A and B are shown apart, each in its own frame.
Chain A
């Protein structure tokens, strides 16, 4: 994969500025090939979310922020497939991790949370899509809610693993401390926001203009690249706050659940 700042083809460019240019050239081969992934470990994160670690021997590598497609097959041939963000940072372990919410009535997440155990095999294809990828080059503002923090955590972990000096900040919203995914991993780069219940002395409320102002403070040279991930309601709310606080629309990348 190679990093690019412009669109790969020098062809038609619309008269308005391109809102969200892709960050990387993507491998069409990796996107098209289904590979076997063997579950090796399950770790509980919160009452509703768990991390699933897979051995994927032929994984060609990914960048933080990318996702994959995963499929399960029933005995009668029925297949269910879903897109999931990758939680683990790029590394050479031959393993990747996904963190999945247990969705009410979810046929795929329900299987993972109630049936799956180490040794089970599923199929994946990817990594997919370059627009939400963060190669670790530009100062990054990460804003996530619920399991929207998953692709952002891959960025935080990458930043730490490589000892990067480029500024990176994470604003993560959760219903309460017990619902905060990766709670024990956050450091000085992270500000949690609790919307329903909070520890003693911590206010309860949704992400506000004040949170975003603190996030945007001390603008680095070249400005921030903002990455927003969560439900559509959260993404609309957070992206409007970013725009209102002066973040350029063409430096905001959004990944919405669905």
Chain B
């Protein structure tokens, strides 16, 4: 790529936590959902794990909160180029839910889906081993509705469109099935460190 005449850009900040092509959004946390923010109360919220599992199961708000608490503290990266540093999300590790349903040996992928009908696909390996959470706290407070409250999935090592808001469930599959953005041209995995934004990247 050629140098753009007269372009200098913002002051350079050395930041080893910033993946290629990303900038630090600072205190901003843009909302980019493509659908209407749903009116969903904790009492109405449920989370289901089914598909290729030994015991499919649905958790209510209270049942999910009875699982061992776990928090993510670190950074998040959005495909639209902003990253946000030092955030805290509190909830339960996805491993706690998966341990309860016992995935079948042939399960390789999941489709995560929202109470709005939003979907996103993930390799099972990306949501196990302490790499994914179901969260209902942001900072010290409840997760705001426009950011996915009452509860969302977070998979912070991938671009944030994988972290489905208003999470309703996971279905385990023996193959990869593209979700909403993935059918709209986005990358199937979305690793920010390899800049996997669009299909073909």
B184 touches A131 (CB 8 A): yes
The segment out of B4-12, B60-68, B69-77 that lies at the interface is B4-12
Q: Cβ of A7 < 8 Å from any Cβ of B?
A: yes
The CA of A99 and the CA of B1, in the complex, are separated in Å by 24
Residue on B with the closest CB to A10?
A: B177
A18 touches B117 (CB 8 A): yes
Q: Cβ of B15 < 8 Å from any Cβ of A?
A: no
A115 touches B31 (CB 8 A): no
A28-40 vs B, CB cutoff 8 Å, 1 = contact: the mask equals 1101101000000
The CA of A258 and the CA of B173, in the complex, are separated in Å by 33
- Cβ of A58: which chain B residues have Cβ within 8 Å of it? none
The CA of A107 and the CA of B123, in the complex, are separated in Å by 36
- Cβ of B6: which chain A residues have Cβ within 8 Å of it? 111, 115-116, 120
The CA of A115 and the CA of B10, in the complex, are separated in Å by 15
- Cβ of B200: which chain A residues have Cβ within 8 Å of it? 28-29, 31-32
The CA of A125 and the CA of B199, in the complex, are separated in Å by 12
The CA of A240 and the CA of B145, in the complex, are separated in Å by 13
- Cβ of B178: which chain A residues have Cβ within 8 Å of it? 8-9
- Cβ of A75: which chain B residues have Cβ within 8 Å of it? 3, 8
A80 touches B35 (CB 8 A): no
* Closest-CB distance, A217 to chain B (whole angstroms): 21
Residue on B with the closest CB to A129?
A: B184
The CA of A82 and the CA of B82, in the complex, are separated in Å by 10
Cβ-neighbour of A14 out of B33, B168, B185 (below 8 A): B168
A236 touches B37 (CB 8 A): yes
A78 touches B9 (CB 8 A): yes
* Closest-CB distance, B169 to chain A (whole angstroms): 8
The CA of A107 and the CA of B31, in the complex, are separated in Å by 21
A5-51, CB < 8 A from B: 7-9, 11-12, 14-20, 22, 26-29, 31-32, 34
Residue on A with the closest CB to B111?
A: A12
Using a Cβ cutoff of 8 Å, how many contacts connect chains A and B? 162
Q: Cβ of A62 < 8 Å from any Cβ of B?
A: no
Q: Cβ of B41 < 8 Å from any Cβ of A?
A: no
B2 touches A16 (CB 8 A): no
Q: Cβ of B146 < 8 Å from any Cβ of A?
A: yes
Are A14 and B32 also in contact (CB < 8 A) when A32-B199, A128-B185 are?
no
Are A115 and B36 also in contact (CB < 8 A) when A19-B116, A32-B199, A73-B2 are?
no
Most chain B CB atoms below 10 A, which of A14, A18, A111 = A14
Q: Cβ of B45 < 8 Å from any Cβ of A?
A: no
B80 touches A73 (CB 8 A): no
A239 touches B31 (CB 8 A): no
Q: Cβ of B171 < 8 Å from any Cβ of A?
A: yes
Are A32 and B198 also in contact (CB < 8 A) when A12-B173, A239-B37 are?
yes
A258 touches B9 (CB 8 A): no
Q: Cβ of B59 < 8 Å from any Cβ of A?
A: no
Q: Cβ of A211 < 8 Å from any Cβ of B?
A: no
* Closest-CB distance, B24 to chain A (whole angstroms): 13
B121-156 vs A, CB cutoff 8 Å, 1 = contact: the mask equals 000000000000000000000000010000000000
Residue on B with the closest CB to A16?
A: B117
The CA of A9 and the CA of B36, in the complex, are separated in Å by 24
Residue on B with the closest CB to A258?
A: B30
Known: A11-B177, A15-B168, A16-B117. 10 other contacts (CB 8 A): A11-B111, A12-B111, A16-B116, A18-B119, A83-B80, A115-B5, A129-B181, A132-B34, A232-B30, A236-B37
A-B contact pairs, 26 of them (CB 8 A): A8-B178, A9-B178, A11-B177, A14-B113, A19-B36, A26-B185, A28-B185, A31-B185, A34-B1, A69-B197, A71-B1, A72-B7, A73-B4, A76-B12, A78-B12, A80-B7, A81-B21, A111-B7, A116-B6, A242-B36, A249-B36, A253-B34, A256-B31, A256-B32, A256-B33, A258-B78
